[in-house]
Structure 1
Amino acid sequence: MTIIHRRFARAAAGLAAVLALAGCGKQEAAAPAAASAAPPAARVLVVGTDAAYTPFESQNEKGEIVGFDIDIVNAVAKKAGIEVKFVNTPWEGIFNTLDQGDRDFLVSAITITPERRQTMDFSQPYFDARQLIAIKSDASVTRFEDLKTLKVGVQNGTTGDEVVGKLLGKSSANIKRFESTPLALKELEAGGVQAVVADNGVVAHYLANNAGAGFKTVSDAGFATEQYGLAVKKGNAELLAKLDKGLAEIKADGSYDRIYAAHFGAASK
């Protein structure tokens, strides 16, 4: 091999070594792989409730939302592994907040009806209710039909409003609609209406805490048993499954019965 060729070979070998070192250096200088990102915090679900329906939901002196429904949802949420916060939401318009996505689900002594099932989905029932008539102690009412000629108070948009509307006519001047059942019962006490039709739990609670009101109640065999459910946006099967799972678990382990007894003074039936 000639001197020129040897020099050329040495130079080429040197260049290859430099390139190899450069390549190694680039590999070593590469940035380390990014650490795994922490999973995002679970979103707090917003629960709408009309906090004017004692003992199911109301506000205490601190402004906190409390009641049977609230205790049930908190227990369900714990079992389902979800976090919730309650937002006081007026009954009129409460279903719109669900449809628009402002609320993730609703708990507000909501009766499950075929009409409501068309626009929202419901959990398994968590409470059995029926309508109850409240009247003055000296009134002669003995059945629902006796209300046909009387002025009757109801909470606007409730099942009581629906059944009285069917009896008297939806636009009857003898139906007085109120924002809450306690307001209707106050009007009965003041003489502005002669009867109030509302869910038994609310009426019974009011009478127990207002013994001086001079009321009595009348039940009618024609009143169908109603069931309350948690309402979710139509098609939200994932959330519905979590809520149903939580409800099943609190019923199975006795939590439901303890909550029921705390609010109604007896075991659930």
Structure 2
Amino acid sequence: MLKIGLKTALASLVILSLGLAGCGNTSTPPATSNQTTSSDSAKVLKVGTDPTFAPFEFMDDQNKTTGFDVELMNAIGADMGYKVQFESSSFDGLIPALQAGNYGAVIAAMTITPEREKSVDFSNKYLMAAQYIAVKKDSSIKSAADLKGKKIGVQNATTGQTVVEGMGITPQKYEAIPDAMNDLINGGLDAVVADSPVVLYFIKQNPTTNIHYINGDFSNEYYGIAVKKGDSELKDKINASLKKIQDSSKYNEIYKKWFNEDAPTLK
């Protein structure tokens, strides 16, 4: 996403219930150790995410957290010698919970921004995205300039919100993109601005919804894995494992599974 700081769930979570990549818990769990040892002596790394942002993180039909970010983080954890334990939260609660020590890290299609870097440290970038505009095919909106004076939906605390507000537009904020898409389909919104992979995945999973996308020519954004400010030890370990995976065929294998194309070079 791009989240402040490209978020749809599978077809079963959209349209009728439209619950895109179902909301996580909005309450902040009590602070606990973010790195523990299980009964079988395997090291556990607690990782926060917002499972409402397909194809990056969402709940599958067996109520298990899945998606590109989930597979990537599991691969990183395995290389580091950790079993990853995912903890769910609303997106805007992830950084506060990380700061409180509830997680060791956060992966949630989180864009690396100067504002967020004041609160957390980020790993090296692992994916590039941009903001796309989702509209109905018969919409009069043909470019970003046409958003003026229209009803625009965004996910709360994402870079979609930042981009829209930066244009002088006050958007309608949602806890999950599927809810915004539902309102767009039903005529309550004129457009939805969200991360490009999320918009493309929604359209692919819901081809009968008469929704298409517009490339608004917004700046590229890069996702990073957040760790607590000053936790250079964990950040360095994540970066080392991330580089190893990116340099091997594993990263492209995961990317192609979720985006149906080879991974682009991160510029």
TM-score for both structures, normalised by structure 2: 0.82
> Which of 233, 240, 244 is equivalent to 2:239?
244
Residue type matched to 2:232 in 1?
A
Q: What secondary structure sits across from 1:128 in the alignment?
A: strand
CA root-mean-square deviation: 1.2
Q: What secondary structure sits across from 1:92 in the alignment?
A: helix
- CA distance, structure 2, for counterparts of residue 48 and residue 234 of structure 1: 15
Q: What secondary structure sits across from 1:111 in the alignment?
A: coil
Larger CA deviation: 134-143 vs 193-202: 134-143
Q: What secondary structure sits across from 1:197 in the alignment?
A: strand
Any residues of structure 2 matched to 1:154-173 within 5 Å, and which? 154-169=154-169, 172=170
1:140 Cα deviation (Å)?
Answer: 2.0
Show the counterpart of 1:102.
102
- CA distance, structure 1, for counterparts of residue 178 and residue 127 of structure 2: 20
Larger CA deviation: 67-76 vs 134-143: 134-143
Per-residue deviation, residues 148-201 of structure 1 (Å, max 9, x unmatched): 1100000011000011111134xx3xx211111111111100100000000001
Residue type matched to 1:151 in 2?
K
2:228 is the alignment partner of 1:233: yes
Show the counterpart of 1:81.
81
2:65 is the alignment partner of 1:65: yes
Residue type matched to 2:148 in 1?
K
Which structure is higher in helix share?
1
In terms of Rg, which structure is larger?
A: 1
> Which of 245, 252, 256 is equivalent to 2:251?
256
Any residues of structure 2 matched to 1:1-269 within 5 Å, and which? 41=41, 43-169=43-169, 172=170, 175-221=171-217, 223-269=218-264
1:78 Cα deviation (Å)?
Answer: 1.4
1:90 Cα deviation (Å)?
Answer: 1.3
| Identity %, equivalent residues | 37
1:251 Cα deviation (Å)?
Answer: 0.9
Residue type matched to 1:200 in 2?
S
- CA distance, structure 2, for counterparts of residue 61 and residue 258 of structure 1: 23
Larger CA deviation: 198-207 vs 212-221: 212-221
Q: What secondary structure sits across from 1:83 in the alignment?
A: strand
Unaligned runs of 5+ in 2: 1-39
Answer whether contact 2:127 2:223 (CA < 8 A) is retained: yes
Show the counterpart of 2:31.
none
Q: What secondary structure sits across from 1:168 in the alignment?
A: coil
1:92 Cα deviation (Å)?
Answer: 2.4
- CA distance, structure 1, for counterparts of residue 216 and residue 160 of structure 2: 13
Residue type matched to 1:196 in 2?
V
1:41 Cα deviation (Å)?
Answer: 4.2
Unaligned runs of 5+ in 1: 1-39
Number of residue pairs aligned between Structure 1 and Structure 2: 225
- CA distance, structure 1, for counterparts of residue 109 and residue 212 of structure 2: 23
Q: What secondary structure sits across from 2:197 in the alignment?
A: helix
Answer whether contact 2:43 2:81 (CA < 8 A) is retained: no
Per-residue deviation, residues 15-54 of structure 1 (Å, max 9, x unmatched): xxxxxxxxxxxxxxxxxxxxxxxxx946411100000101
Of structures 1 and 2, the one scoring higher in RCO (CA 8 A, sep 6+) is 2
